[in-house]
């Protein structure tokens, strides 16, 4: 099985597991990979090397080289491209007859084998322990086992299934070995960081306008009247608006008689009730209301009972007003 080591290009023969602490800090300072993740890679490689020596098993190795570009965004973009290249499932040669029997992917037999290097994950865990549980995320403190080997809905344990295009495409039957899954986790973090930065820089209105999003300017008067009920007052009666405002200020009752078919006001009456002014308190005796014109028996039979008629039938009888004797 192909060996897997993460090391610096200038030290291609020195895996991370054999680097000194000062070398690890220097690599972390010159790349976009945090020291915590580099140390986790080195610890995993050390445990795999020890397991291969003691139990005579083949262990996987990932040749990932962090970018040393001076621009952090470009360095992360290079790391993302390299991670996609390393995490793509291994395919059979185009002329291989096994493509007809077992499909185009070479290591896609079961969830206990890595789809990239064919590593037997079961044998690796028995020899070196659960390395998935030893590699933890620096921000959340959760291990790869907790994040990727549990159903997010039911919480039950289930194997992680790789995809044909790493982060998209159809699900396969194979999985990732610990180091490949760690790189997959870092890839997801890098892409989330890139998405957040892109949204912060291109999420403004000016950026959206460049992408074809258009705006419509609405006049202040139109915006203020948006949602209001349409006024059906004819233009000839518009100059009476101040009169009705004064009637409301004087507490005069205004009766609206609506058309039962159109729902519009056919008749509007301003009532001058002498009893209101003779009492000296200007207390309104008649209330402002919307009256419906009387319907014929034919109309009532055709339309049936309405909400207004049901409310009127259940309302208490109107109070009788005392008669005020006329002045002699």
| Angstrom distances, CA of residue 69 to CA of 11, 30, 73, 188, 256 | 17, 8, 9, 20, 79
In this structure, what DSSP letter does residue 106 have?
A: S
Provide CB contacts within 8 A for 11, sequence distance 6+. 19, 23
Q: For residues 37-50, give the mean pLDDT.
A: 78
What six digits make up the tokens of 201? Answer: 């820089």
Range ranked top by mean pLDDT from 4-18, 63-77, 231-245, 303-317:
63-77
- The pLDDT of residue 102 is 77
d(Cα 79, Cα 48) in Å, to the nearest integer? 24
- The pLDDT of residue 150 is 86
Report which of 263, 311, 245, 262 is spatially closest to residue 254, judged by C-alpha positions.
Answer: 245
Q: For residues 145-167, give the mean pLDDT.
A: 88
- The pLDDT of residue 63 is 78
Does residue 203 sit in helix, strand or coil?
coil
Please check whether residue 115 is in contact with residue 174, taking contact to mean a CB–CB distance below 8 angstroms: yes
- The pLDDT of residue 282 is 67
d(Cα 289, Cα 112) in Å, to the nearest integer? 80
d(Cα 84, Cα 68) in Å, to the nearest integer? 18
CB atoms within 10 A of CB 132: 22
Q: At 191, is the pLDDT very low, low, confident or very high (cuts 50, 70, 90)? A: very high
Burial of 104 by CB count in 10 Å (0-12 exposed, 13-18 middle, 19+ buried)? middle
Q: At 219, is the pLDDT very low, low, confident or very high (cuts 50, 70, 90)? A: low
Q: At 231, is the pLDDT very low, low, confident or very high (cuts 50, 70, 90)? A: low
d(Cα 271, Cα 253) in Å, to the nearest integer? 6
Write out 120-161 in H/E/C secondary structure: EHHHHHHHHCCHHHHCECCCCCCEHHHHHCECCCCCCECCCC
In this structure, what DSSP letter does residue 234 have?
A: -
d(Cα 119, Cα 90) in Å, to the nearest integer? 12
- The pLDDT of residue 147 is 92
Mean pLDDT for the chain overall: 75
pTM higher than 0.75 = no
pLDDT at residue 226 tops 60 = no
What is the pairing mode between strands 254-258 and 265-270?
antiparallel
Helices 35-55 and 178-202: crossing angle in degrees, nearest 10, is: 160
Strands (E), the chain: 254-258, 265-270, 289-291
pLDDT at residue 242 tops 60 = yes
């Amino acid at each position: 099985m192909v060996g897997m080591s993460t090391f610096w290009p200038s030290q291609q023969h020195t895996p991370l597991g054999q680097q000194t602490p000062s070398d690890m800090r220097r690599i972390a300072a010159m790349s976009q990979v945090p020291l915590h993740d580099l140390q986790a890679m080195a610890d995993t490689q050390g445990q795999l090397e020890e397991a291969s020596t003691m139990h005579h098993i083949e262990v996987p190795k990932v040749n990932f080289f962090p970018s040393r570009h001076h621009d952090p965004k470009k360095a992360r973009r290079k790391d993302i491209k390299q991670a996609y290249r390393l995490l793509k499932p291994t395919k059979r040669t185009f002329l291989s007859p096994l493509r007809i029997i077992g499909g185009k992917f070479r290591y896609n037999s079961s969830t206990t084998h890595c789809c990239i290097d064919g590593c037997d994950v079961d044998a690796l865990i028995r020899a070196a322990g659960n390395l998935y549980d030893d590699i933890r995320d620096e921000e959340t403190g959760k291990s790869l086992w907790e994040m990727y080997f549990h159903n997010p809905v039911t919480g039950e344990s289930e194997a992680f299934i790789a995809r044909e295009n790493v982060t998209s495409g159809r699900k396969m039957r194979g999985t990732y070995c610990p180091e490949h899954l760690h790189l997959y986790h870092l890839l997801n973090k890098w892409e989330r960081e890139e998405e957040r930065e892109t949204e912060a820089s291109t999420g403004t209105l000016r950026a959206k306008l460049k992408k074809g999003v258009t705006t419509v300017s609405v006049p202040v008067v139109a915006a203020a009247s948006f949602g209001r009920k349409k006024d059906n007052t004819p233009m000839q009666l518009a100059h009476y608006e101040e009169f009705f405002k004064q009637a409301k200020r004087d507490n005069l009752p205004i009766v609206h008689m609506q058309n039962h078919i159109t729902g519009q006001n056919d008749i509007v009456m301003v009532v001058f009730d002498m009893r209101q002014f003779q009492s000296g308190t200007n207390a309104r005796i008649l209330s402002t209301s919307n009256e419906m014109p009387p319907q014929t028996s034919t109309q009532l039979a055709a339309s049936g009972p309405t909400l207004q008629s049901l409310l009127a039938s259940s309302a208490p009888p109107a109070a009788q007003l005392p008669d005020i004797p006329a002045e002699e």
